[in-house]
């Protein structure tokens, strides 16, 4: 009898456990089986690539970014939106680097912080473009200056007559040889005036181009930066400050990278660098400084939606590269949307662009700062 009582008690305890959880009765109805959400086939579309967030070399200064005022945004189609319209240029290529024309609004999807946005504006503009040629005339480029001058003139020759060009050269100092003009004779004369000096104020030159020469220019604009990326004498601007401003600007930066490392070693009489050699050599000539310079050019191109070209490894040479840049600036797709979620001034918003065709390369900036030019 005692065994029977124990058995009944055990059964009652087991039966009561489900009712004891959280003090609620369990639902006797069977739970529905989870329904798998449909997954998208990545072989049916292409997406822009998110760039890894850069690690700042110096702590960011505390700043307050003013809120964006509502503005009227217009283009060739006279589309006007009295609100905070975010517009970004998008370039689409095949795997061979050929530009893909003829895409329409319905071919694109845009995401902000992972949320699909409604495209409020779409267009392809053939407006005049403004370009700043920034030429490094520091001692490190001495052996490449003829190539640089030829390349700069070659690029200008590929532009339309109504496109404007400014020419800025830099060593320790910044010299604006000509402000933006359509006068080709004046532009070529400015390029020919390139003269060497001491020091390399690359960061100051980038600030001059983005902030002073292009800051108030409307329409499509870009910086073509001929340099090895090494800075030795900038004081007013830095690696981080210029990248911060580049991220907030609406200009593309296309660095033309010249690796002058071995040229410099020959110039200073140390063709076979070692650890001791790097310690004893002048500023701006060590392997570490050259690695930092290359990283800077990669980061400023990525931050603005541009790309880096190396003359010796560009298929078809620089002329083909320049043809691609000119075509890209002229035929980029412009996509505009009104964010579903408003950000706070200074907040970074992540952007991803998708095209409903496979095996394409999509290049666009991957973020913007709320309150910056790109978000206005």
Task: Note the pLDDT tens digit of each residue in 206-259.
Answer: 999 999 999 999 888 999 999 999 999 999 999 999 998 998 888 999 999 988
Let me know how long the chain is. Answer: 376
Q: φ and ψ at 116, to 5 degrees?
A: -65, 135
The residues that bridge with 253 in the sheet, in sequence order, are 223
The pTM (predicted TM-score) of the whole model is 0.72
pLDDT of residue 60: 53
pLDDT of residue 374: 57
Q: Are strands 174-181 and 164-170 parallel, antiparallel or unpaired?
A: antiparallel
Cβ neighbours of 59 (radius 10 Å): 7
pLDDT in tens, 96-150: 777 788 899 999 999 999 999 999 999 886 778 999 999 999 887 777 788 888 8
Where are the chain's structural domains?
42-52+66-124+333-375, 129-328
pLDDT in tens, 49-85: 776 666 677 655 433 333 344 343 444 333 333 458 8
CATH superfamily of 129-328: von Willebrand factor, type A domain (3.40.50.410)
pLDDT of residue 262: 72
Query: Considering Cα of 126, then 89, then 205, then 311, what sign does the dihedral take?
Result: negative
């Amino acid at each position: 009898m005692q065994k029977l009582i124990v058995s009944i008690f055990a059964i009652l305890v087991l039966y009561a456990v489900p009712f004891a959880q959280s003090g609620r009765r369990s639902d006797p109805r069977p739970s529905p089986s989870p329904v798998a959400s449909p997954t998208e086939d990545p072989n049916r579309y292409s997406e822009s690539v998110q760039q890894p967030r850069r690690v700042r070399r110096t702590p960011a200064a505390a700043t307050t970014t003013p809120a964006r005022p509502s503005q009227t945004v217009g283009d060739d189609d006279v589309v006007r939106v009295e609100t905070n319209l975010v517009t970004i240029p998008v370039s689409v290529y095949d795997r061979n680097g050929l530009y893909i024309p003829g895409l329409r609004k319905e071919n694109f999807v845009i995401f902000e912080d992972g949320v699909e946005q409604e495209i409020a504006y779409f267009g392809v503009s053939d407006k005049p473009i403004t370009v700043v040629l920034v030429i490094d005339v520091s001692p490190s480029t001495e052996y490449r200056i003829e190539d640089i001058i030829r390349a700069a003139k070659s690029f200008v020759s590929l532009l339309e007559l109504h496109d404007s060009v400014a020419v800025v050269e830099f060593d320790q100092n910044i010299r604006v040889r000509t402000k933006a003009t359509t006068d080709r004779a004046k532009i070529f004369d400015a390029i020919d005036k390139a003269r060497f000096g001491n020091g390399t104020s690359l960061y100051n030159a980038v600030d001059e181009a983005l902030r002073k020469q292009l800051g108030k220019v409307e329409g499509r604009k870009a910086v073509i930066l001929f340099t090895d990326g090494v800075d030795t004498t900038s004081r007013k601007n830095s690696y981080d400050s210029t990248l911060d401003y580049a991220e907030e600007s609406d200009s593309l930066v296309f660095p033309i990278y010249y690796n002058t490392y071995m040229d410099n070693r020959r110039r200073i009489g140390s063709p076979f660098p070692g650890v001791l050699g790097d310690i004893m050599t002048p500023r701006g000539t060590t392997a570490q400084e050259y690695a930092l310079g290359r990283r800077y050019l990669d980061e400023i191109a990525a931050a603005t939606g541009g790309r880096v070209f190396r003359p010796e490894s560009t298929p078809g040479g620089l002329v083909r590269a320049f043809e691609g840049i000119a075509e890209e600036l002229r035929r980029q797709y412009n996509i505009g949307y009104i964010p579903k979620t408003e950000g706070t001034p200074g907040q970074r918003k992540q952007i991803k662009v998708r095209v409903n065709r496979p095996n394409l390369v999509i290049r666009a900036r991957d973020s913007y700062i709320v309150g910056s030019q790109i978000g206005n």
